[in-house]
Structure 1
Amino acid sequence: MLAAIHKMGFIHADLKPDNILYEQSDSRKLAQIDRSGKRMTVPILTGVAVHIVDFGRAVSIHGRYRHAAVATVYRAPEVDLVDWGAEVDIFALGCVFAEMFLGKMLFPNTHSLIHRMYLLEGVIGNFPLAMARLIKVNRPGSFLSLNTSAPWMVPLNVSTLILKHQKPLETLIPLATAANLIRRMSNSSPEHRIRADEVEHHYYFYLNANGTRATI
């Protein structure tokens, strides 16, 4: 769906769970045993249609932009630091995908841009040197030195508690295939993110839990 939007020449620029709708198309009953040992039957989706809605912030895919886009907790780092393009949709989709696994936001809301950058580094790793150089040019004073560690000074307020307990992506999502896809979507460097038309061909969607290729 996102690949089709990009192919039509648009950046959605506001991807979040509220703007992704799931329409049940098929289901079947599955027998399960609950913790008390009681047998129960639950409906399991075997087919679902996905719709991306609300194009109020959509812009042309052919431009580069500097205005704010995407809700903060799904926002790619370049939106706050440099200019941005279609890659912001991929980052946001990666955050939504991770949220489906975690049952909570991958990047909790923080009090400031400083805290958010620390949070991003804690989960997806250090900013690449090229990205750090670009940030230094566009936002002087953002980094303590021109390297890939420790942007800004350590924040000293309640948001620090969030940062101290944040874990790397592979620890948060131990399923290796899913973690790999999310990491490729949430790469801090936009030019290294997977493209929308590549996401659906990622091996996560083709491998069963035992590592064999699924039939779809």
Structure 2
Amino acid sequence: MSVLYAARRALVHRDEELPIDPRAQKSRESLIRVMIDALDDNPQPPSVSELVRRAGASRPTFYQHFGDIPTLMHAAAMERLEEVFAMLPQQASDPTEPTSPTDFPDNWTRFAAESLTALFTHLSENRAFYLAVLDGPSGRAAESELTRFLAGRMLGFATLRDALTRLTDPRAARYAEFLSAGLLSQATKDLRDDLPVTAMVETTTTFLAAATGLKAA
């Protein structure tokens, strides 16, 4: 992560602690939405002038929120993934405390299949957008944050968290990032190859099962 990017992230976190100006929030959301729509149609991002025109914002407003085009592309990808993960199936509570890989409840297989199918369907349907972000000037920063994002979501799933803790405690968080980096790399390759969703789900479920000791669906 570059020093410049880290500084921008620090400013974002600082700003998140301050009261939100509704007008500023609306302009930020408009710029993100325009970038999402633009990358859906064309992997080449629009200029700042075109962005602010379509968003009904000013250039100073754009630079206040994002600073440059790569940072906005990155923000657009995170915003879109946040929305998708909020809609994914939620894991059912485990009825018992698992003591070995074979003791994990069967609902894990259904949960994994449903969640990964929903996620990969979204990625496949928006293939041009995500490849534009990952292959663009914000690619490395986006990949790094997406890895952390996926690791956090992985630790939020009870069965996966328990499996990772059993294997690597107290390094479960680092192991989750390690797995997320590999899964993101594989998913990106599958998107470039335009593989069907079923193939992407099967590969990812198999890899997760092998890495955690969980039964594959």
TM-score by length of 2: 0.28
* More strand, by proportion: 1
TM-score by length of 1: 0.28
Q: Which structure has the higher relative contact order (CA within 8 Å, separation 6+)?
A: 2
